[in-house]
Amino acid sequence: MPRSPVAHFDIEYLQILDPEGKVDAALDPKLGKDELLALYRGLVWGREADERMLKLQRQGRLGTFSPSVGQEAVSVGPSYCMGKTDWFVGAFRELGGRLMRGHRFRDILLFWNGREEGSAIDPALRTLCDSIIVGAQVPHAVGLAYAQKLRGEQAATVCWFGDGATSQGDFHEGLNFAAVWQAPVVFICQNNQWAISVPRKLQTRSQSLAQKAIAYGMPGIQVDGNDVLAMVVATREALARAKRGEGPTLIEAVTYRMGVHTTADDPTRYRDEAAAQAEWAAKDPILRLRRYLEAKKLWDEKREEALREELRAQIAEEVKAFEADTTFALDAPFEYVFGTEHAAITEQRAEFLALIARDAEREREEAGRG
């Protein structure tokens, strides 16, 4: 018997708005003025908040966090498409999308400063807090989506993760379960080319990450992740498919991590890429949408200045409220490790409090000698 192929597949690449701000007329979703301006506001909001967080962290006023500069379109576009009953399950680089979803900025600041209150998001938002463990949120998202299906909800779950997560077991287990049980979930991979210090080419031999969907029997598409219009179109199609009962979709959003992995990272130790930085700076998602809006006479420098001023004032108020709350008990995190008291945690808590008391006593002694 001759050998014969048993399957063929293709992976589409979708770009609608190019770096010059020009739209492919055949693919143009023809969004209205208010929709376009809302997307632009979401992108700028995410960038402004991110830049303020970086300044706070460098000043010692905020803990380590993961900047999302340059990747705003990957979360803002899909978040704009989501309904109130859809679930938002993110990793740790979806700041713009979270703000658009209604997540309070002060809660985001609390989260990254280690305060458990930051994880107490308004239940009505159907938004989980950041998942720091790489890929761990994928099974959570699939479970939520499967529950939505069992309950007969006309809703879906959108789950973000990075390219590094596609090398994790949770990713494969989650996609397989979702496909087998036709869970209404949209997987969005933020392929920013780096899993901390490991480049994309050393993570997988796959030509694309989107093609991993084929192995599990679901559609996969590669999208220009810096093109917010393409992200809107791809997400709308995937959400509609999920809500029709046709199961999950994998979207690979090709973007770039312009800055550090986290504020505890020093990328100069493992990458030297002036050319790559210049290339991706030219593909900036905010710049290209602004060019498009300006060409349509919907935006100008005066409106830009007014928006930036408004958002910076709003962010400043949230920072002020965040820093005004000093009621945090230093040992509070020990209360949230397990649902019930645990002997090992109780012991660790006692040791921690003893160290705090010792340091306070030393400070008093040094002050007395001074």
Residue among 137, 171, 134, 133 at smallest CA distance from 157 = 137
> Residue 111 is which amino acid?
F
**Regarding beta strands 185-191 and 249-254, do their DSSP bridges make them parallel or antiparallel, or are they unpaired?**
parallel
Considering all CA atoms of the chain, what is the largest pairwise distance in Å, rounded to the nearest integer? 92
**Regarding beta strands 87-89 and 249-254, do their DSSP bridges make them parallel or antiparallel, or are they unpaired?**
unpaired
Q: Is 270 a catalytic residue?
A: yes
| CB within 8 Å of 12: residues ≥ 6 apart | 221, 222
Report whether 252 contacts 223 (CB < 8 A). yes
Q: Is 40 a catalytic residue?
A: no
Tokens 């809302």, residue located? 38
Token pair for residue 361?
């006593």
Q: Is 257 a catalytic residue?
A: yes
From the list 52, 106, 241, 261, the catalytic residue is: 261
**Where are the strands (E) in 149-200, listed by range?**
157-162, 185-191, 194-195, 198-199
From the list 270, 336, 362, 364, the catalytic residue is: 270
**Regarding beta strands 194-195 and 198-199, do their DSSP bridges make them parallel or antiparallel, or are they unpaired?**
antiparallel
Token pair for residue 299?
């935006």
Report whether 61 contacts 323 (CB < 8 A). yes
Burial class (CB in 10 A: 0-12, 13-18, 19+), 121: buried
B/e letters for 26-53, b = 16+ CB within 10 Å, e = fewer, are: eeeeebeeeebbebbbbbbbbbbbbebb
> Residue 294 is which amino acid?
E
3-state SS, residue 253: strand
Distance CA 243, CA 110 (A): 34
From the list 52, 98, 101, 257, the catalytic residue is: 257
Distance CA 121, CA 104 (A): 8
Active site residues: 257, 261, 270
